[in-house]
Structure 1
């Protein structure tokens, strides 16, 4: 058997989970070369790997290919793509993480490392789980994933405090700048005028907010149902005209009665 096995430009590498496994899983690797370039996946320094098993993680890839050269970055994705992968939140694990067979992109420091990785021999198979660096499976793996999904509360609170401090500082700077620019004419002679009120208003409680929301919802519903059809519009106008005519006749009768009840008649 030849030292290397190449199929359609892909170098075939057999993998085993541990030494006790009798069967091998094969992955296929070649140099990443596409028309659309991306800084996260440079053509000459990126190794493309297909059919990556679920139990092969970044640590396994680093152990397998660290002898080829210095590794800058590893991208594990569900499907091949020329663009950079989405940046995940470092505090909360994404719910879109898909398990199963995936693809990987290994970015080396030099192009020579990619050429060296392509020269891997077919035999013997590479072992992923060793006594020094075991690959967790079953209940241990689930426990590890659960712990990894929990955010670091102290680091998260520290970042929130830093963000709010920067935000408050920005608001104060904007307020100070607006105060300095107030009353000063610009290049065209316009003067910026702002209104400052002493009464900032009382914040709404939850009950008040609920009442306001219900009242607005009721008004909006009545407005939508009122005069929905054209004949309703005509009928409403006719009713309004009839009411005005009736009121006009009533006013005329009142005026007649007032004139008849006058005692003083100079003519």
Structure 2
């Protein structure tokens, strides 16, 4: 989606007609000589499909420039009527679902999508949406003002770099808070599962959870050794044998250890057979 060039008549720029949309001219700052248009229309989607965006109080906006943030849009239209919420998305559609912890996080938030975007603005009253839809300013609305400046150039690069620097203390606090909430949620789910277990529902079915299963039989030492041997063989098949010098040395060392182990086992067998008078070398 890109900014449209528009038409010129007697030095004035006329917005290209887009069926169903109203055009609102905007420019970056008062010094800017060029401008482009935002295309606005009422958001018409059934409330059960999009409950967070009421039809009579929500406007859908196309052609939002990359430098225009939520704060800028709010400041731009709140001069005319009160705003409840502003959302910026890469493309039209339902609200982009982001995990609550991640959305509120200072360190794990999603990256800003570059390029032109779309916006959904929810007003506090029905009159607000109608006012903006019928808005026809004589001069383009200014995005970057003294009260709400938009950073560009070196200032923006410095700001973006500063956001990449992480404070270890703040990060640790956020991680600890997240883990506490996670443990609390897991404990609540386990408690709920225990309460529901064994209680039949309306149709007579009984819910069985993992805790209701029969406890497994502990492994013997021989079973553990066999499992370790299988994992070792499986790992050895994936590796390049004797590819490196240290692998060659280790394979020799293991071979010698196996021979010594076999020798000791044979000595014990021979001693046992002698004690039982079963050893006949010839």
TM-score of the aligned structures, taking structure 2 as reference length: 0.56
Question: What is the aligned partner in structure 1 of residue 28 from structure 2?
Answer: 17
Contact 1:92 1:149 in 2 (8 A): no
Cα distance in 1 for partners of 2:213, 2:153 equals: 67
1:152 positional shift: 5.8
Q: In the aligned structure 2, how far is the partner of 1:141 from the partner of 1:99? A: 14
From the superposition, tell whether residues 24 and 112 of structure 1 become closer, same or farther in structure 2 (CA, over 3 Å).
same
Alignment partner of 1:59 is 2:71: yes
- Per the alignment, do residues 57 and 218 of structure 1 end up closer, same or farther by CA in structure 2, a change over 3 Å counting? same
1:104 aligns with 2:119: yes
Q: Comparing 115-124 with 159-168, which one deviates more in the overlay?
A: 159-168
**Consecutive unaligned residues in structure 1, runs of 5 or more:** 179-186, 198-208, 222-267
What is residue 135 of structure 1 aligned with on the other side?
Answer: 150
Offset at residue 67 of structure 1 (A): 2.8
Residue 84 of structure 2 corresponds to 72
Indicate conservation of the 8 Å contact 1:75/1:85, yes or no.
no
Check if 1:8 corresponds to 2:45: no
| Distance (whole Å) between structure 2 residues aligned to residue 160 and residue 59 of structure 1 | 28
Distance in 2, matches of 1:64 and 1:157, equals: 37
Q: Which residue of 1 aligns with 2:108?
A: 92
Q: Number of matched residues?
A: 195
Stretches of 4+ aligned residues off by more than 6 angstroms: none
Which residue number corresponds to residue 41 of structure 1?
53
Q: Calculate the aligned-residue CA RMSD, in Å.
A: 4.0
> Which of the two has higher C-alpha Rg?
1
Counterparts in 2 of 1:108 and 1:142: CA distance versus 1, 3 Å: same
Residues of 2 paired with 1:43 and 1:138: CA distance?
39
Q: Does 1:145 align with 2:163?
A: no
Structure 2 residue matching 1:99: 3-state secondary structure: coil
CA deviations 1:167-225 (Å, max 9, x no partner) are 66767x979x99xxxxxxxx9xxx9875898xxxxxxxxxxx9x98653223579xxxx
Deviation at 1:145, TM superposition (A): 2.5
- Structure 1 CA distance, aligned partners of 2:39 and 2:190? 57
2:132 counterpart of 1:123: no
Once residues 173 and 122 of structure 2 are traced to their aligned partners in structure 1, the CA distance between those partners, rounded to angstroms, is 32
| In structure 1, distance between residues paired with 2:31 and 2:60 | 28
Are residues 174 and 27 of structure 1, via their aligned partners in 2, closer, same or farther at CA, if it must alter by over 3 Å? Answer: closer
Distance in 1 between residues matched to 2:97 and 2:181, nearest whole Å = 26
CA shift at 1:74, angstroms? 1.1
CA contact (8 A) 1:30 1:47 kept: yes
Instruction: Return the alpha-carbon distance in structure 1 between the equivalents of residues 148 and 182 of structure 2.
Output: 44
**What's the CA shift for 1:112?**
1.7
Structure with the greater relative contact order (CA < 8 A, sep ≥ 6): 1 or 2?
1
Q: 1:46 to 1:148 in 2, by over 3 A?
A: farther
* Aligned residue number for residue 28 of structure 1: 39
